[in-house]
Structure 1
Amino acid sequence: MTDATDDVYRLAEMTWEEVEAAIETTRTLLLPVGSTEQHGTHMPLGVDVFMPEAICERVAAATGCLLAPPIWYGVSPHHTFKPGTFTVESETFQRYVRDVCVSAGEWGVENVLLVNGHYLVQDPELEVVVRELTTDHGLRAFHVPLVSVFEDVATATRTSEVSFHAAEFETSLMLAVAPDLVDLEAAEAVDPPDDAVPLTDYDAYGDNRVGWALSPGRMDALTHTGSLGDPTAATEANGRALVEAAVENVVTLVDALADTRA
């Protein structure tokens, strides 16, 4: 139970009476969505949840909107070549996330932000969920991939040419929000191959103009560490800048939703 002097926004720590009172002042819910999957030899399995949850905590503290417990399991079949990775079927994931949001709508939530730390890979699933929540369930739903809301800062501060998985961006962000979980001494740069076909690229902001995917066997052939890119280029300062940009952008959306509430 939350202390009466604390900000009340973490749903898992609230009573139903506190939720009932909070719904009188906000109808917006942040739902961190990630995955539990390998992130190289220098970071833990929970990176894709730790990142969006940390950003959502800051947004909720700034705006007073509600923060749901995160979705820990996602669509990660290509990472099963390393132990510790969990994955669920695309349809299972979509139904689960949708049902979580629909249940929130039943007790008063009107706006849902799916803040996605497993960006790029499960973007297609969350786009489908957003459409279903909007057209079939009367919610205002938004897919918020972190790679989009910190893009300007990421492209301005990057020093490595490739940041694909557990590389510069994710490692920097983790250094800012959970430095005790990062072992930079174990980090190793892994260059991608030169055989990417046209309109695809092994970079978060590369020439990715068509949909494509990786199999576990292909990932295993690409990287012996599990990461792809250069995590040694990461810095805490750049991570803080990524966090600040993401929080600022999401706060802007949450405030706009509050201003347009009927």
Structure 2
Amino acid sequence: MLIEHLTMEEFAAGLERTRTVLVPFGSTEEHGSHLPLDTDTMQAIDVGRALARQRPIFIAPPVHYGVCRSTFDHPGTLSISTETLKALTIDIVAALYRQGLRYFILLSGHAGGTHMATLTDAGEVLLQRYPELRIAVVSEYQLAAESGRELIETAGDSHAGEIETSRIMHARPELVKGTAPAEYPAFPKGLLVRDKRRFWPGGVWGDPGKASAEKGARIEALVVRELRTLVEQLEAWQDS
């Protein structure tokens, strides 16, 4: 059930079927010269909607902005602060909780470390604030890398490479602008740098040349399966 498409009567009726909601988080971020800026958000939306075709679940409107620490100087990246993301996440979940939802999956298509830590921070605050709330925070990339390990040829593939290019080639082929060279950035260990493009000029981390639409379809199906298992685990979870 896509919340943005429901009437208020349909939303109320949906609560009789499920109290579980998936909130898709993404980013507006460079993904090389060949993938759209909304790649992360699209992936989270696509697997959420696929899951909704298999079982009752609310899918909240997506959040198209994230914390993009390593790419905020690349053309097109619109990064927000950790403070903004944390506050927005808390407000969205609080509003959904007030409407009767109790089981929350925060699914992020953007897997940046600072971004994911911020979502987890928000989840911990919410866990303490609402006694009936159950919550999981997971990246779409984490599910893809774990479940599709046997399909992925590129070691260390993580951004606009084999996985993400395959996914968009499958789900949104009209948005893929060819391919891009393989790239494996090497940031100086422990040092924070101002000119991040100096160390990551192409905005790719992996090898887009190994991507295929068929591979993308298989990875997406595996991610949906892992996501469904996570939802079932969350709904059965007892932590006290």
Amino acid at match of 2:9: E
Q: Per the alignment, do residues 214 and 30 of structure 1 end up closer, same or farther by CA in structure 2, a change over 3 Å counting?
A: farther
1:235 alignment counterpart: 212
Letter in 1 for 2:168: M
Q: Which amino acid aligns with 2:208?
A: P
Q: 1:131 aligns with which of 124, 127, 133?
A: 124
DSSP-derived class of the 1:32 partner: strand
The size of the alignment, in residue pairs, is 236
Give the distance between the partners of 2:28 and 2:34, measured in 1 at CA. Answer: 15
1:161 aligns with 2:138: no
Instruction: Say which SS state the counterpart of residue 150 (structure 1) adopts.
Output: helix
Which residue is 2:225 aligned to? Answer: 248
Q: Which runs of 5+ in 1 are unaligned?
A: 1-8, 198-211
Q: Is the 8 A contact 1:78 1:216 kept in 2?
A: no
- Return the offset for 1:92: 1.1
Decide whether the 8 Å contact of 2:21 with 2:57 is kept in 1. Answer: yes
Q: Distance in 1 between matches of 2:176 and 2:26?
A: 18
Mapped to 2, the partners of 1:30 and 1:213 lie a distance apart of 36
Unaligned runs of 5+ in 2: none
Q: CA deviation at 1:250?
A: 1.2
1:23 and 2:15 matched: yes
Aligned to 1:147: 141
Cα deviation, residue 94, structure 1: 0.5
Q: Does structure 1 retain, via aligned residues, the 8 Å contact 2:29–2:78?
A: yes
- 2:33 matches 1:56: no
Q: TM-score, normalization: structure 2?
A: 0.90
Instruction: Give me the CA root mean square deviation.
Output: 2.1
Q: 2:30 touches 2:71 (CA, 8 Å); kept in 1? A: yes
Partner of 1:43: 35
Aligned position for 1:90: 82
Label 1:213 to 1:35 Cα distance change in 2 as closer, same or farther (>3 A): farther
SS of match in other structure, 2:148: helix
Structure 1: how far apart are the matches of 2:237 and 2:152?
A: 36
Q: Secondary structure of 2:158's match? A: strand
Q: CA deviation at 1:53?
A: 0.4
Map 1:67-78 to 2 at 5 A: 67-78=59-70
Counterpart selection for 2:57 from 46, 57, 65: 65
Deviations 1:97-117 (A, max 9, x none): 111011000010001100111
* Partners of 1:227 and 1:25 in 2: CA distance: 42
* In structure 2, distance between residues paired with 1:215 and 1:115: 29
Letter matched to residue 253 of structure 1: L
**Runs of 4+ residues over 6 Å off in structure 1:** none
Please report the TM-score for the alignment, with normalisation by the length of structure 1: 0.83
Match of 2:119, as an amino acid?
L
Which of 179, 185, 189 aligns to 1:192? It is: 185
- What is the Cα deviation at residue 216 of structure 1? 5.5
